[in-house]
Copies of this chain bind each other. A is one copy, B any other.
Amino acid sequence: MIKIGILGYGNLGKGVEAAIKKNSDMELAAVYTRRDPKSLAIKTAGAAVKSTADLDAGKEDIDVLVICGGSATDLPEMTPKYAAMYNVIDSFDTHARIPEHFSNVDKASKKAGKIGIISCGWDPGMFSLNRVYAKSVLPDGAAYTFWGKGVSQGHSDAVRRIDGVKDCRQYTIPVPEALEKVRNGEDPELSTREKHTRECFVVAEDGADLEKIENEIKSMPNYFADYDTTVNFISEEEMKQNHSGLPHGGSVIHSGTSSDGNRHVIEYSLKLDSNPEFTGSVLIAYARAAFRLNAEGVTGAKTVLDIAPAYLSQKSGEELRAHSL
């Protein structure tokens, strides 16, 4: 059994816990939390709930630590810190800072003889794999990534910070005409606005100025200003009833030619009922790879691009060749 530790018990940590239950070669050893461990009720009988401070001696009996923190401030500090003691894996998703994060984790984990897999999930993660496979097979083509329809937690949070907003759920939606053009192999030039629209469901405080809220959302730089955004004000009951899940998904579509007349379209798409549970499922498959690779003596930072697919599977090479190839 591969013994997994989870650091952080928010949506993602719970998603990792759910994924472990689906993998018969794994067990949850402990959840580590910055909160009071006594305040946490986890869903796995027999697993410990401990304080993050317990990790610091580097003596916890875990094979891989799955670090479920935020990319803005948690992971840049946590992943290198724990990579110096344990095999670790995270879902760091600030694309622009990946090279720096990789380098920090690489130094720490190499020194410790451990492995650290960073930026694992679906984007970065499964989508990255598909961008690289497709571009390698058809080098002259372009890969387009579309997200949604799904809930963007970052955009929902941004709206929640506006005065007079009690709650918000923001859906990112690919523009059907853009998808269609890419699927037809037209290689279109697409602006940000032409690729996705954004739809907000907002619960406002009593007496709030709805027009002002709507304007503040639509003009918010980076988050909404470059998109066509729709704002719907709803009741708390409607929010609870219709928008309590965290579905997401999207597509990576690459089209390219092999000779002048012949075009090929490669599409990878995901439809996810729960973004954090699917991300947790990817993390757990790569946790298996981390365990195996480190057992073979591999150390340092890795991404999904550095890991052969067979390492993710519970099956042996022989079984895979006989049944899955």
A288 vs B274: C-alpha distance in the bound complex, in angstroms?
A: 37
B281/A303 in contact, CB under 8 A? no
Q: Does A271 contact B (CB under 8 A)?
A: yes
Complex contact B99–A318 (CB within 8 A): yes
**Using Cβ atoms and an 8 Å threshold, which residues of chain B touch A277?**
258-259, 262, 264
A288 — which chain B residues lie within 8 A by C-beta?
136
Which B residues lie within 8 Å of A264 (CB)? 270-274, 277-278, 281
A22-B140, A267-B269 as given contacts; A129 in contact with B309, CB under 8 Å: yes
Report chain B residues within 8 Å CB of A271.
264-265, 267
* Stoichiometry (number of copies): 2
In angstroms, Cα B136 to Cα A24, docked, is 12
A321, CB-defined interface residue at 8 Å: yes
How long is the Cα–Cα vector from A287 to B136 in the complex, in angstroms? 11
Chain B neighbourhood of A310, CB < 8 A: 132, 305-306
For residue A144, CB closer than 8 A to chain B, the reply is no
Q: How far is the CA of A127 from the CA of B129 in the complex (A)?
A: 14
In the bound complex, how far is the Cα of B119 from the Cα of A282, in angstroms?
A: 26
Assembly CA distance A307 to B274 (angstroms): 30
Asked if A65 is at the interface (CB within 8 A of a chain B CB), the reply is no
- Asked if B263 and A273 make an inter-chain contact with CB atoms under 8 angstroms apart, the answer reads yes
User: In this assembly, does A320 line the interface, its C-beta being within 8 Å of a C-beta of chain B?
Assistant: yes
User: Contact partner of A282 among B19, B23, B95, B137, CB < 8 A?
Assistant: B137
Contact A22 B138 (CB under 8 A): yes
- Which B residues are in CB contact (< 8 Å) with A320? 132, 305
Footprint of B on A, CB under 8 Å?
A: 15, 18-19, 21-24, 95, 98-99, 102, 119, 124, 126, 128-133, 135-140, 257-259, 261-274, 277-278, 280-282, 285, 288, 303-310, 312-314, 317-318, 320-322, 324-325
